[in-house]
Structure 1
Amino acid sequence: MITFTCDVSQNEFLADGAGEVHAVITVAARDETAAGSGTGTGRPVPGPGETHGETHGDAPGAAEVIILDCSGSMEYPQSKIIEARRAAQAAIDALPDGVAFAVVEGTEQARVVYPERRELVTASAETRAAAGRAVARLRPHGGTAMGRWLRLTAQLMASRPDAIHHAILLTDGQNGESGRALEAALAACQGAFQCDCRGVGADWRVDELRQISTRLLGTVSLLREPAEMADDFRALVAKALARGVADVALRVWTPKGSTTRFLRQVSPEVDDLMPRAVEVNPFTRDHPTGAWAAGIREYHLCVDVPPADVGDERLAARVSLVVGGEVVTQARVRAVWTEDAELSTRIDGVVAHYTGQAELARAVQDGLAARRAGDEVSAVTLLGRAARIAAAADDGAMLDRLGKVVEIDDPVTGAVRLRHEVAKLDEMDLDAGSTLTVPAKR
């Protein structure tokens, strides 16, 4: 059984004439089965402004598809295809009996290499061994058409409609399809499965895999060496199998005359939820978040409301967590107008922290783009800003990544200098890791 709690961090006070309301919504999912052993995650007792709810019944089954890039480039060096086969075998071996699965070979076409039909098969000692033999026969050839890989995966998932659907996509190169073809494939696959993307080597595009992972509610990461694949695949499968609640959405209601300026996940990483919004009615939107395991996610909501008179209080938004169409927990975002400047100018610490984390991600991505374009002035300014925000948040991992692209003279002030020689893998690692955040201190 999973218990959800929902809490709000905000400064609800607005100055006379103001109408911009910010809040961070913290949603905690607690596995009550594990809670008794001290391994659960979340808050046992709701706090102020917090509600809680539970989901009951058996957890849905799991479905896993492993998508391996088998294009010709995977042959150079040969360790890539060797380790890709080993990683696929590791993922297959990690599947417990009863999980539905398949392996897809990705070239300029998409082919199910196991089972040899367009449907998922149930994991058992026999099917895992057969899948391993099929994977061992994979050889690099042909081109790269990721949209076709994703469409085939969606067809496979449709054979097990009641399962929690997850895929791993591994590539070492760039998509050979047009941007329009990939976008059409993503539109067709959105909501059909979640997809974690992994790039190995230095010849793939971070923005391309980020586009896929963002639309399909997954993650993107760099694997510097082929030997890293197997452990990473095992971890991805374990994380996917831990998800016991499917089809979770954030439902945001705003009153007449109000509009949602943005809603983005800010922890454990930055993710814009607005493009995936689905209208429930003229005042309400659902924002899909995929399947959940025990853990905490945080969301930054900004709402524009019509200004009211001093002393008035209004409900600026109501945020609900919806599981399988049922509201299980809810939080309220308030707006109170005041003449007290001390109250209205106070910035909530959690909101301030995650505003900075989102700005850091933009600064890194824009700074790297400026660097690639030869605009050194903008690159130094933006990457310096990123260093300053990372230092303020005590984000040592980000400072380490930044330090491989720029010389950081003073992280507190953001004084940096571009490095003349930067390994491409270091630049890609900084780009891919730009959306990872550190939690706010409370």
Structure 2
Amino acid sequence: MSEQAQFTIRVDQNKYLPVGGQEVNAIVTVEATGPLETVAGAAQAAEVIIIDTSTSMATERISEARKAAQAAIDTLRDGVHFAIIAGTTKATMVYPSRKEMATMTATTRDAAKQAVSRLIADGGTAIGSWLRLAADLFAPYAGAIRHAILLTDGHNQHETAAQLDAALAYCQGKFVCDCRGVGTGWEVAELRKVASVLLGSVQDIPDAKDLEADFRAMAQQAMGKAVADVALRVWTPQAAKLKFVKQVSPTLEDLTGRRTDAGPQAGDYPTGAWGREVREYHICVEVPPGAVGQEMRAAWVKLVQPDLGTQLAAGNILAQWSDDPAQSTRINPRVAHYTGQAELADLIQGGLQAHKDGDFATATARLGRARTLAEESGNEGTAKLLDRVIDYDAATGTARLKPNIDRASQIALDVGSVRTVRTRKDPDEG
């Protein structure tokens, strides 16, 4: 499958370091192109849909969740392995009734939709148990595109944080999970942790009526994935130190702690499954200082499928020492842009926490600074979310908190804080 897909790696950096300089920064852009539709059509895929059926869902949410799950079932193509789980204080098979996956056909599609139509809301919330069952269902399908959708409207009140962490450790690397929170009773930090470990996304759905379109879009995206279990492999010279590897687009995700050794001086950082898409990574390497004019490879970056031993693309991060300040002090525009986007996310999350703690002066300062950064970087989506919680004067750059900030606005801003915008195209990109 992977041979048909075309991957490219582009490295943006200023390779020149001042005399004595040691820190090398680069933005690595990975793009998947080529006949991915053909690949996706042939790729083995497995999908699990997890619906929170706790008591708090016993409103219009459960009926909208049923419709959403049925829309996702309709979107999955024939031949896909699939299962539906209902989540309360335990995980229960909805379809099929046994602890296994079904294969999508016209018959199983109708049967699954009928089973979903009978879902009722009654019970508590133990997200870790839901995820463990999903991991067990995915176990026979190593090498397939393995994707789950998780919907909840509440926080994980019937498990300890340690229990959830243990469940996530059990599930890590076994599937990708996109998380959705409906209403305002769920915790962003909790779902963000799940999505982070399982390489998925988090999105807030304030109105349950929007679930159906969102589930359909998630299922379509999952069906568009073509290459499974891809990793970014980074090699560094013996005397160098890899400081961090972070995804910076389309969302911020620190992958540094996810490293697995991949031979001498090399490590793999998981990126999950790929379809036709572009992602960008910020890599920072500390190298020993060199002589003026000396050039070295600071890192060798590859996109690989570790389980198959397949290399999909590669690129170099370089370092060269210069005594010309015009060369060595220039900051690459892409590096500067994504450093600013990371600062923007930190300011927003810090500002929201300060507001929660009752420190309104700190909240105002951080959110105001975030609004300025959002404006400067062209992140219009984040700017609009900030405008829901602060009054901002663009002329003076001053801000003040709105008197009554509703929880839906706080959730939307928190969720959106890690969503970045790409830099505008350079002239040499065409």
Q: Does 1:362 align with 2:362?
A: no
Q: How does 1:292-331 map to 2 (within 5 A)?
A: 292-323=274-305, 324-331=308-315
2:50 matched residue in structure 1? 67
Q: How many residues align?
A: 419
Tell me, in whole angstroms, the C-alpha distance in 2 between the residues paired with 1:14 and 1:413. 37
String of CA shifts for 1:321-378, please: whole Å, max 9, x gaps: 1023322211100111111111111011111111111111111111111111111222
Tell me, in whole angstroms, the C-alpha distance in 2 between the residues paired with 1:210 and 1:354. 20
Tell me, in whole angstroms, the C-alpha distance in 2 between the residues paired with 1:265 and 1:14. 24
Identity %: 48
1:44 matched residue in structure 2? none
1:335 matched residue in structure 2? 319
Code of the residue aligned with 1:304 in structure 2: it is: E
1:144 to 125, 129, 142: 125
Shift in Å, 1:172: 0.2
Give yes or no for contact 1:245–1:293 (8 Å, CA) kept in 2.
Answer: yes
Tell me, in whole angstroms, the C-alpha distance in 2 between the residues paired with 1:275 and 1:221. 24
1:47 matched residue in structure 2? none
Tell me, in whole angstroms, the C-alpha distance in 2 between the residues paired with 1:59 and 1:261. 39
TM-score (norm 2): 0.95
Moved more, 192-201 or 87-96: 87-96
Q: Does 1:25 align with 2:28?
A: yes
Tell me, in whole angstroms, the C-alpha distance in 2 between the residues paired with 1:415 and 1:84. 42
2:250 matched residue in structure 1? 268
2:192 matched residue in structure 1? 210
In structure 2, the CA distance between the partners of 1:162 and 1:283, relative to structure 1 (3 Å rule), is: closer
2:89 matched residue in structure 1? 108
2:378 matched residue in structure 1? 394
1:437 matched residue in structure 2? 420
2:169 to 187, 190, 196: 187
Shift in Å, 1:439: 0.8
Q: Does 1:95 align with 2:98?
A: no
String of CA shifts for 1:189-212, please: whole Å, max 9, x gaps: 011100000000000000100000
Tell me, in whole angstroms, the C-alpha distance in 1 between the residues paired with 2:126 and 2:176. 19
1:257 matched residue in structure 2? 239
Give yes or no for contact 1:120–1:160 (8 Å, CA) kept in 2.
Answer: no
1:14 matched residue in structure 2? 17
Code of the residue aligned with 2:69 in structure 1: it is: A
SS of 1:435's partner is: coil
TM-score (norm 1): 0.92
Give yes or no for contact 1:386–1:414 (8 Å, CA) kept in 2.
Answer: no
Tell me, in whole angstroms, the C-alpha distance in 2 between the residues paired with 1:133 and 1:360. 46
Gaps of 5+ in 2: none
Tell me, in whole angstroms, the C-alpha distance in 1 between the residues paired with 2:41 and 2:111. 29
CA-based RMSD: 1.5
Give yes or no for contact 1:261–1:302 (8 Å, CA) kept in 2.
Answer: yes
Tell me, in whole angstroms, the C-alpha distance in 2 between the residues paired with 1:275 and 1:117. 37
In structure 2, the CA distance between the partners of 1:33 and 1:200, relative to structure 1 (3 Å rule), is: closer
1:416 matched residue in structure 2? 399
Moved more, 383-392 or 113-122: 383-392
Tell me, in whole angstroms, the C-alpha distance in 2 between the residues paired with 1:259 and 1:70. 47
Code of the residue aligned with 1:434 in structure 2: it is: S
SS of 1:126's partner is: helix
Shift in Å, 1:34: 6.4
1:81 to 62, 81, 90: 62
Gaps of 5+ in 1: 36-55
Tell me, in whole angstroms, the C-alpha distance in 2 between the residues paired with 1:157 and 1:282. 32
Tell me, in whole angstroms, the C-alpha distance in 1 between the residues paired with 2:408 and 2:40. 45
Give yes or no for contact 1:317–1:334 (8 Å, CA) kept in 2.
Answer: yes
In structure 2, the CA distance between the partners of 1:416 and 1:159, relative to structure 1 (3 Å rule), is: same
Code of the residue aligned with 2:419 in structure 1: it is: L
1:285 to 263, 267, 270: 267
Shift in Å, 1:131: 0.8
